[in-house]
Amino acid sequence: MKIVITLLSVSLILFTVKAEDTIPTSPSHWKYKAVGAINGTSASFKNWNAGGQNTISWIALFDAQANYKKDNLRWENGLHLAYGQNRVLINPWQKTDDILSIYSKIGYRVTKAFDIAMLNDFKTQFDLSKDSDGNLLSKFMAPAYLINAFGMEYKPNDNLQVFGSPFTGKSTFVKDFSLSQAGAFGVDNGKTVRYEFGAFIKFLYNDEIMKNVTFKGKLELFSNYLNNPQNIDINAEALFNFKINKWLSASWSFNMIYDDDIDIVVLDDAGVEIAKGPRAQLKNVIGIGLSYSFIDK
């Protein structure tokens, strides 16, 4: 994309200057980075005495960043996509991962380590999910989360970022009739949006903890001033990337979510509801496969 923009810019300049004129050049203030990977696993059995089930699974990941820096102005933009499925025997494919996340943060440096910043963060998923009875659990924009926050960011180095805002708006969208009628994901029955206002803190840490092993961690905390501010919403993520060579990589990710407004139904072995209420949601994903990175230095 950068090459295309550069070619268009040069073409316009050639139409507006004479042949003997000198075209000025200046260093770009943009930095780009993108990482893509596709991982998969497969297991098959035939006449295997110990037993086992034929399974196949795959997951695709994509991360991209476009960051601008000039003098005291900083503008960071990111995109994170993930989607995966698995299949056991001849059963239908089941979704194992599904993430669409976009963020943008603009800040102005006031000291060596502190910025005044505005953060916008949006999350949803691509595909729908159903339970074993065929009931809809989630889909695109049901739910979706949008955070708009104004505050301060502490960034002593390239590895650590801490953003805090006492003025944060959080919106939860449920753009599906059946889910909104059921009051899913904390919205009032029949409503498609839930608005909250409170305080927000976000911790980011990214480092190469050993050769060819990188760690990326994120912790987000939100307190709603308007309803039970003592109940903190938590979103914690940890991602380890293991680079085998230029094309091969492995990864392990962990995600924990706790939202006091989301009720989790617990069923017994017979499928009968035995409990309902807010609970920690946990997810682990392990994969090995192909990976490619692009870094614009």
In this structure, the dihedral spanned by the alpha carbons of residues 164, 169, 170 and 174, taken in order and rounded to 10 degrees, is -160
| Residue bearing the bigger pLDDT, 131 or 180 | 180
Please name which of 209, 187, 207, 205 lies closest in space to residue 196, comparing C-alpha atoms: 187
pLDDT digits (tens, 9 = 90+) for 65-94: 999 999 999 999 999 999 999 998 888 888
Rounded Cα distance between 243 and 215, Å, is: 12
pLDDT at 213 over 90: yes
Q: CA distances (Å), 29 to each of 119, 161, 256, 274, in order?
A: 20, 21, 36, 57
Lowest mean pLDDT among 27-41, 174-188, 208-222: 27-41
pLDDT at 19 over 90: no
Amino acid at 81: L
pLDDT digits (tens, 9 = 90+) for 103-149: 999 999 999 999 999 999 999 999 999 887 788 999 999 999 999 99
Residues contacting 239, CB < 8 A, separation 6+? 215, 216, 217, 251, 252, 253, 254
pLDDT digits (tens, 9 = 90+) for 230-271: 999 999 999 998 988 888 888 888 999 999 888 887 777 767
Give the pLDDT band (50/70/90) at residue 8. Answer: very low
What average pLDDT does the chain have?
85
Rounded Cα distance between 167 and 164, Å, is: 9
| Residue bearing the bigger pLDDT, 4 or 170 | 170
> In the block, which residue shows the tokens 């040069």?
10
pLDDT score for 21: 41
Domains, the chain, ranges and CATH? 37-295 (2.40.230)
